[in-house]
A = this chain, B = another copy of it.
Amino acid sequence: MRIALDAMGGDHAPGPVVLGAIQAVQKDAAMHVVLVGDQAQIEPLLASAGNVRDRLEIFHASQVVTMEESAALAFRKKPDNSITRSWQLMQQRKVEAIVSAGNTGAVVAGGFLLRLFLKGVRRPGIAALMPTQQGLSVLLDVGANVHPKPEHLYQYGVMGAIYAKHILQRDKPKIGLLNVGSEEDKGNELAKETADLFRSSPLKDQFIGNIEGRDINKGVCDVIVTDGFVGNVVLKVCEGVFDFVMRVVGKELLGALKTELPLAQQAMGGIIKRYDYHELGGAPLLGVDGICIICHGSSKERAIENALHVAAKHARAKLNELIVKELTAGGAATPEA
CB-CB contacts of A240-264 with B at 8 A, as 1s and 0s? Answer: 1111111111001101111110011
* Chain B min CB distance to A75 (Å): 14
Please state if A252 and B271 are interface contacts (CB–CB under 8 Å).
yes
By secondary structure, the A interface counts as helix
Please state if B257 and A263 are interface contacts (CB–CB under 8 Å).
yes
Contact of A257 among B146, B245, B264 (CB under 8 A): B264
Contact of A244 among B70, B131, B229, B232 (CB under 8 A): B131
Task: Say yes or no: is A45 at the interface (Cβ < 8 Å to chain B).
Answer: no
Please state if B256 and A259 are interface contacts (CB–CB under 8 Å).
no
Task: Say yes or no: is A167 at the interface (Cβ < 8 Å to chain B).
Answer: no
CB-CB contacts of A38-79 with B at 8 A, as 1s and 0s? Answer: 000000000000000000000000000000101000000000
Number of A residues, CB within 8 Å of B: 66
CB-CB contacts of A203-219 with B at 8 A, as 1s and 0s? Answer: 00000000011111110
Residues 214-234 (chain A) with a chain B CB within 8 angstroms: 214-218, 226, 228-230, 232-234
Please state if A271 and B249 are interface contacts (CB–CB under 8 Å).
yes
Task: Say yes or no: is A331 at the interface (Cβ < 8 Å to chain B).
Answer: no
* 12 A-B pairs with C-beta separation under 8 A: A133-B244, A133-B247, A147-B189, A188-B229, A212-B233, A213-B232, A213-B235, A213-B236, A213-B239, A215-B240, A245-B245, A249-B253
